Amino acid sequence: MRDQMGFREQMVRAQQMARFGQDDKALAIAESLARARPDQPEPGEFIKALEADRTRYLLLAEARELAGKREYTRAVELLDSLAATGYHDAGPEVVRVLLGEGHWHWSQGRAGQAKRSFEVAQERDPGNAQARKALDDIGKTPRPVTATTGQRPTPATRPAPDPRANTTPAAKPVSPTGTQAPPPPLDPALEQRALDAYAKGYEELKDRDDTTTARNKFREVVEMLREYPENKWYKRASDLLREIGR
């Protein structure tokens, strides 16, 4: 009886460790129990489940890496295959990849492809607020028509930002009706990079009094978010640049 209680306690401990991400320790306990109690199927089943979760987690990481390289189609295919195995984290990740794909296409002037990505994201997750807002914004963005041919102009490739440029926000494009066209929705990945740069600059300024590094980081934030002057990180970086001198 005592031996059985010890077995149960060890199994519970292994499960708790796996739950908190300590897979190696959980696996070691389960393997030890499997050797000590070959009559008990639970350790073997636990080991198989843990190894399957590890494999799926590695595939999830691979899909995220593909999305980071803008190989969105491959990332979605991999995530769909994971979802088919019952891996619940794959479904929401597909939506995030599709949103990233949509933001990327839009930033490159490919509104039609962006719209399709957002539509698929909304099909996958009908209540997704980001997809709905992006589709609304695309619908509101005017598409100018050339006066001579009546054809839609081919979007120009967006030039890389000049690091020597000043930090004054660029003028927003104006539609034929005279209203300012809104910029594409802010890509969450871009905002995260801006936040990381801001945090690094703030740390250098407050903890090390390194105004040179801080100034460079805040300039990066302003440059990244030039089209989004109402963004809080743009505003904070701009305020600190004014305080320490551009």
Q: Kindly report the three-state secondary structure assignment for every residue of 138-185.
A: HHHCCCCCCCCCCCCCCCCCCCCCCCCCCCCCCCCCECCCCCECCCCC
- pLDDT (tens digit, 0 to 9) for every residue of the chain, 246 residues total? 445 558 888 888 888 887 776 777 888 898 899 998 899 888 888 888 877 777 777 788 888 888 888 999 999 999 998 888 887 778 899 999 999 999 999 999 899 999 999 999 999 999 999 999 999 998 886 544 434 344 544 544 443 444 443 444 444 445 455 555 667 788 877 887 888 788 888 877 876 778 888 888 888 889 888 888 888 889 888 988 888 876
Q: Is the backbone of residue 209 left (phi > 0), alpha (psi -120 to 50) or beta?
A: left
- Alpha carbon distance 162, 160 (integer Å): 6
Degrees, nearest 5: CA angle 243-245-246 = 125
What is the domain partition of the chain in residue ranges? 63-141+179-184, 188-244
What is the pTM for the complete model shown? 0.47
CATH architecture of 63-141+179-184: Alpha Horseshoe (1.25)
Nearest by Cα to 76 from 94, 58, 96: 94
Asked if 128 contacts 95 with a C-beta cutoff of 8 angstroms, the reply is: yes
Q: Under DSSP, is residue 161 helix (H, G, I), strand (E, B) or coil? A: coil
Structural tokens at position 54: 């590890």
Nearest by Cα to 100 from 119, 86, 117, 123: 117
Count of positions (residues) in the chain: 246
Asked if 227 contacts 181 with a C-beta cutoff of 8 angstroms, the reply is: no
